[in-house]
Chain A
Amino acid sequence: MSTTSLPNSPFAALNRGLPAYIALTAYVVVTSALMLTNTRTSLGTDVLFILFLLGFLLIYRAKVSNGYKLALGAVMLIGVVPYFGTLNAYYIELAIQAGIFVALALGLNVVVGFAGLLDLGYVAFFAVGAYLWGIFSTDQITQISPGASPVSPQLFYLFMALGLFVGAFFGVLLGLPVLRLRGDYLAIVTLGLGEVIRVLAVNLDRPINITNGAQGIKSIARPPLPDFLRALLPGLNDPQIYQLFIYALALLIVGITVLTVFRLKNSRIGRAWEAIREDETAAIAMGIPLVRMKLMAFAVGASFAGVMGVLFAAKQQFINPPTFDLIRSIGILAMVILGGMGSIPGVILGGVLVTLLDLQILPRIATELGALKRQGVVIPDWFDPAQYQRALFGLLLIIMMIFRPEGILPDQRRREEAHAIEDREASAKTEAGEAKMA
């Protein structure tokens, strides 16, 4: 429906062949150049940044060779974004956040999109990963066992791997009791379990202080900066290099996640998940090991969150229970649904879009309104768009469900499903009409 543009549209010439290459390259070069010459944090730069990101979508949709797509995308991700980041730290921070949430959304997509298990407590696994590094890298560990000392920051990478396994372990642990549940019950139970993890994080400061309760864990260690980066990037100060380093790590994890998810989707396991999603009873009849497949979906999804949790704790250097509340789970769900359940490019798009909306666009509107107010325009005190995160997620969910349940960049099979229902309704209506006439 939206994959092909009309043959007589004025952009038809740009759709394929050499013009497509030229137009695409020109777009990327122009937006990059504009962005790199306007580095002040402002509404204008915001717009340029978004236009620049739109370039990725255009690359994805353009009919050019895959090699060229990859090359162009790589230049933008590895060249332009980090360079821009050295000029303005705010935007690279945004890119890191987007990366973290994209990886989380991809993980949730395995559970919700591939296997069709609506998980509303996903952020719990993220919390588990974050607390894992938070506890072991700080003095918090001495509270648990007085003899122990914090692990060396060098072990960060080991803990990322550990985060993978701990995440998967908790995924199975939370998956086990809810295996027998279908659809809507599962959603409520996972929501409850997510809350349980949060309540535990608040309350496990007694009798043994494990999580340090509501105060959270402060001064979490960061991985040491590799020396070659300093040599590689002369003229930059350490915080700048560090930010680029975190960006690179996030990008690497997102890359690995995308690759893994993509391979999984087109594997025997992925097809089994799809079968379970479409019709559980039929899937059992076809000999699909339901329990193992469902647990695997939970484990895989949770493991991504575990790894990202470790990275998140190191990046923020501070974690507390409210960071992992329900609204964050819902936010990640909104990313998956906005982009398209089960569709990998869709979920990436959804992750970036929701992060931008939440962390850039709404706060920017708030700042601009504040500026207007100082100029004397009457804006009531209660109107602060940055505060209405829930309303934003809520509206996104409702609108998507009513008008486009398959998402912006839908998965092929999902789209067919959505249309099968419309077709069925249409045929039911004609039948009813005929019956009336008869």
Chain B
Amino acid sequence: MTLAGVFGPLGQVFIFVLGSAIVLSAITVLAAFLLRGTRANVDLVQATLTILPQVIVDGLVRGFLFATIALGYTMVYGVLEFINFAHGEIFMVGAFSGAALGAALAASGILKAMPPLLFVLIAVAVGMIVSGSLAMTIERIAYRPLRNAPRLVPLISAIGVSLLLQDGMRLIANVTGLGFNARFPTPNFGPPIQLAQIPAADGRTIPLILDVRALIFIVAATLMLIGLNYLVNATKLGTAIRAVAQDRPTASLMGINVNQIIALTFLIGGALGGAAGVLFGIRVGTVNPYIGFLPGLKAFTAAVLGGIGNIPGAMVGGIVLGFLEAFVASYLSLLTGGALSGASYADIVAFAILILILIFRPSGLLGEAVAQKV
């Protein structure tokens, strides 16, 4: 594999980032233009344009969150054709382990003096180790014994694992004193970066800000995506993973230890989920045992949107979904004059997309159509 193989998919992701941002902005502005007569005292077009850059930045952060979680789903699906329902909870456990680390450091007084980047590095590493090994353990205990069972059996087991992890984490959080709504202590990241000043209607200017933590999120997620691409496309392990995904019996005839590769796939996917969890926790500031469910579901949608089993597809799907959600969340209330709450209906968007994609293009944006095996 050459450099092109590693960076090619990232080009694809970049095109989709740009494309969906432009298309969605155009649609929103058009809608605002068409609806401009409906509100007397507000210039809808002006209002829409004013917050547009901020919405795009938000969409990017959401998109990278979904993309990093979606990778775990898609890798496992690619190898086992199995939806790891508990992946959202693995993300949540990652977030909690970061919170626990932060709390421990804060208790010993080191946290305040720590350089923020060092803390992020250590926390992400801890989250990756905890979540990765948890995912591997779950595979060993709850999925491997069921590998040859009918398809619904491991899925139901995975639902069970997901519920068990939620309450298990709640128990641990209560016992250790982290609490149900655990604070995620971090060093001070400093003031948000001001990217630009946007002139608003009444002569004031609205600053376009990018939170440092959001920036860290975007950079870290991009680095992880590059790393994963390299791992899967340019290393021996990656070749083995792709071989197992393509044809398990043949791969094992080629001398690949299939069980080990599957375990490693869970390790990698879990580690990515854990890292996403830590980054998410750093950005949001508090975590609770149920935060994994909704992002998990949406990340799955993202994986399907991009074409499940397809790694660049998961990134593309995540980004597109992130943008869509950000646009709906920010603009629905504005454009309907507050009649519909954007934040609530943004959750529905993900499911609507999931259903539409599964009906009209089940192979996803980047996936290839697969004939049904009889």
Contact = CB atoms under 8 A, between A and B. Distances in A.
The answer to whether A and B assemble together is yes
Contacts of A424: 148
Given A180-B362, A395-B160, 18 more contacts: A187-B152, A188-B300, A189-B354, A196-B348, A200-B348, A202-B344, A207-B340, A380-B175, A382-B175, A388-B171, A390-B163, A390-B166, A391-B171, A394-B164, A396-B160, A398-B161, A401-B146, A424-B148
Nearest to A206: B339
A183 B151 contact: yes
A240 interface: no
Contacts of B350: 192
- Chain B contact residues: helix, strand, loop or mixed: helix
Given A395-B164, A417-B150, A184 B82 contact: yes
Nearest to A281: B374
Given A183-B152, A188-B297, A193 B351 contact: yes
Contact of A397 (B159, B300, B339, B362): B159
B172 to A, nearest CB: 10
A203 B355 contact: no
A337 B156 contact: yes
A402 B157 contact: yes
Nearest to B154: A401
Interface of B: 82-83, 142, 145-146, 148-157, 159-168, 170-171, 174-175, 293, 297, 300-301, 304, 336, 338-341, 344-345, 347-348, 350-352, 354-355, 358-359, 362, 372, 374
A188 B163 CA distance: 15
A198 to B, nearest CB: 10
A184 B159 contact: no
B163 A391 contact: yes
Given A192-B297, A192-B351, A206-B340, A391 B168 contact: yes
Contacts, number: 140
A192 B354 contact: yes
A199 interface: yes
Given A394-B167, A395-B164, A421-B150, A196 B351 contact: yes
A178 interface: yes
Nearest 9 pairs between A and B by C-beta? A397-B160, A394-B163, A394-B164, A391-B167, A382-B174, A192-B351, A398-B160, A207-B339, A401-B157
Contact of A330 (B153, B163, B336): B163
A116 interface: yes
Contacts of B168: 391
Contacts of A397: 156-157, 159-160, 163
Interface string A383-419: 0000111110111111001100100000000000100
Contacts of B339: 206-207
Interface string A282-309: 0000000000000000000000000000
Contacts of B355: 177-178, 189, 192-193
